Amino acid sequence: MSKTTAGAAAPTTAAAPLDDAARRARMRKVIAAAGAGHFVEWFDFGLYGTLATVISLHFFRQGDAQAALLSAFAVFGAGFVMRPLGGLFWGSMGDRIGRKTTLAAVILVTSGATFVMGLLPTYQSVGLFAPLLLVIVRLVQGFAAGGESSGATTLLAEYAPSNRRGFVSSFVDVFGFIAFVVGGGLVFLFTSLAGDDALNTWGWRVLFMVALPLGLAGLYLRSRLEDTPEFQAVKARGEVAANPLRRSFATSWRALLFCVGFVVIKAVGHWILQTFMPSYLQTDLHYSATVSYGVTVIGFVVIAALVPCFGLLSDRIGRKPVMLVGCGGFVVLTYPTLVLMNAGNFWAATAAMVVLGIFMAAFDGAMSAAMAELFPTNIRYGSMSIAYNVCVAIFGGITPYFATFLITSTGNTFAPAFYVMGAALVSGIVVLRARETHRAPLRAE
């Protein structure tokens, strides 16, 4: 880094200082605005995963259910190809013109693309054009998503008090899992009330269209925000990087590598639990659709509730110990939990999902702040976007497909456990080698 000046102290702006009540009110507003966009992004991604079996029926040639499901997951992964490009575009914009404007544009594109997915024609009506159109929409969604997670994390980290950065930043993942709860819960509720036939014929369209009003609400919240005090201070001092991406590679390449290493288990763990698991429970373990959705929703509720608790713990004892608990838990207990799921009992499957959820919550609770603390303010958004999205594109996008492929090729329904364990081991080693940052102020440049 060209400078090591600490920038986390009170920003150098002309605004009058806020009292405690005003600061708390502003923080709630910031969390809601950041969370709204993140909710929309993961509502879309989670809904696709939850409805992967339904999507495979409508957008691909029938005859081999497993092949159609693999095709649905392959299209899901196609969206991740665009995430690094989206990260380059939105991340650079966020570091040059600000977090607020960039995040407002991101949520508009994301919600619009998800709405369009609900309007697409099916394979039965237009043949091969159906999967082609599905791929195009997924590419647009992936491009927009490339700017969401890192941008929302940057926004929260830069607004948060230094002694609550882990807690505040963790709400990125809270809203992400709430989105999965709402998405999965809507599917669960719909199938319980209207039945699988209604969901398979027209209900899936309605669920995707819900994203547009959600996105407009998020756009309203984000448009009413001021930019972060950290970014405003950098801008006031004339320290905004002219080419933040080039500067990231030139001055922060080690931090980029650490960030990539952190994200490996986050990418694999999230997409195993959020996207692969509902289909796995139905297709491979032969649970009913209603039970499968119920198990996953309960798991997501547990994760959403525990993430801020682990974020708060990371503010007190450090990011590394909490992240290592998550990695270690995945290494030791992923295989036994999949065996437990195979018992064919709702409560056994739920207990297994909750155990995995605890380890995911531990890692997520500390990781958002840990990533933000690796980079200075003038290149934070772009740097996180590059590292996060490259890793998610490589590991997250292929996870549902690769896990399904492992089962198909080996005949072992527990084979995906070894993939998760390997990813956790990689991230655990990187965390061990990283420096502890929870007491360090955010750097300006």
Q: What is the pLDDT of residue 420?
A: 95
SS (H, E, C) 20-58: HHHHHHHHHHHHHHHHHHHHHHHHHHHHHHHCHHHHHHH
Instruction: Give pLDDT tens digits for 135-159.
Output: 899 899 889 989 988 999 999 999 9
Confidence band for 264, pLDDT divided at 50, 70 and 90: very high
Above 90 in pLDDT, residue 317? yes
Per DSSP, helices labelled H in 118-240 are 123-126, 129-145, 148-159, 165-169, 171-194, 196-198, 204-209, 211-223, 229-236
Do residues 339 and 405 lie in contact, with contact meaning Cβ atoms separated by under 8 Å?
no
Domain membership flag for residue 198:
yes
Domain membership flag for residue 11:
no
Above 90 in pLDDT, residue 330? yes
Above 60 in pLDDT, residue 9? no
- Please give the Cα distance from 428 to 322 (Å, whole number): 11
What's the CATH number where 295 sits? Answer: 1.20.1250.20
- Sole residue written with tokens 């999205």: 389
Do residues 46 and 183 lie in contact, with contact meaning Cβ atoms separated by under 8 Å?
yes
Above 60 in pLDDT, residue 178? yes
Do residues 327 and 363 lie in contact, with contact meaning Cβ atoms separated by under 8 Å?
yes
Instruction: Give pLDDT tens digits for 28-80.
Output: 889 998 888 888 878 877 788 778 878 888 888 777 777 777 788 788 777 88
Is pLDDT larger for residue 21 or for residue 157?
157
Do residues 114 and 126 lie in contact, with contact meaning Cβ atoms separated by under 8 Å?
no
Q: What is the pLDDT of residue 445?
A: 66
Instruction: Give pLDDT tens digits for 87-105.
Output: 999 999 999 999 989 999 9
Least confident residue range of 201-205, 258-262, 355-359: 201-205
Confidence band for 179, pLDDT divided at 50, 70 and 90: confident
Per DSSP, helices labelled H in 82-128 are 83-97, 99-117, 123-126
Domain membership flag for residue 234:
no
Domain membership flag for residue 318:
yes
Domain count, the chain: 1
Q: What is the pLDDT of residue 10?
A: 42
Domain membership flag for residue 299:
yes
Q: For 210, what's the count of Cα atoms within 13 Å in the CB-facing half-sphere? A: 18
Is pLDDT larger for residue 319 or for residue 198?
319
Confidence band for 17, pLDDT divided at 50, 70 and 90: low
Residue 101: count of CB within 10 angstroms of its CB: 15
Query: What's the whole-number mean pLDDT along residues 194-202?
Result: 82
Confidence band for 254, pLDDT divided at 50, 70 and 90: very high
Above 50 in pLDDT, residue 7? no
Domain membership flag for residue 227:
no
Q: What is the pLDDT of residue 414?
A: 92
Confidence band for 300, pLDDT divided at 50, 70 and 90: confident
Structure tokens at 410: 């080996």
- Please give the Cα distance from 255 to 249 (Å, whole number): 10
Above 70 in pLDDT, residue 14? no
Residue 64: helix, strand or coil by DSSP?
A: coil
Do residues 165 and 373 lie in contact, with contact meaning Cβ atoms separated by under 8 Å?
yes
Above 80 in pLDDT, residue 196? no
Instruction: Give pLDDT tens digits for 350-391.
Output: 999 999 999 999 999 999 999 999 999 999 999 999 999 999
Confidence band for 444, pLDDT divided at 50, 70 and 90: low
Model pTM? 0.84
Above 80 in pLDDT, residue 306? yes
* Average confidence score pLDDT of the chain: 87
Residue 282: helix, strand or coil by DSSP?
A: helix
Q: Which domain holds residue 192?
A: 24-222+248-433
Domain membership flag for residue 51:
yes
- Please give the Cα distance from 436 to 438 (Å, whole number): 6
Least confident residue range of 85-99, 156-170, 267-281, 328-342: 267-281
Q: What is the pLDDT of residue 18?
A: 59
Question: Which among 87, 130, 62 has a CA at the least distance from the CA of 387?
Answer: 87
Domain membership flag for residue 160:
yes
- Please give the Cα distance from 198 to 205 (Å, whole number): 11
- Sole residue written with tokens 């990011």: 319
Contacts of 5 (CB under 8 A, 6+ apart): 443, 444, 445
Above 70 in pLDDT, residue 114? yes
The torsion angles phi and psi of 63, rounded to 5 degrees, stand at: 135, -35
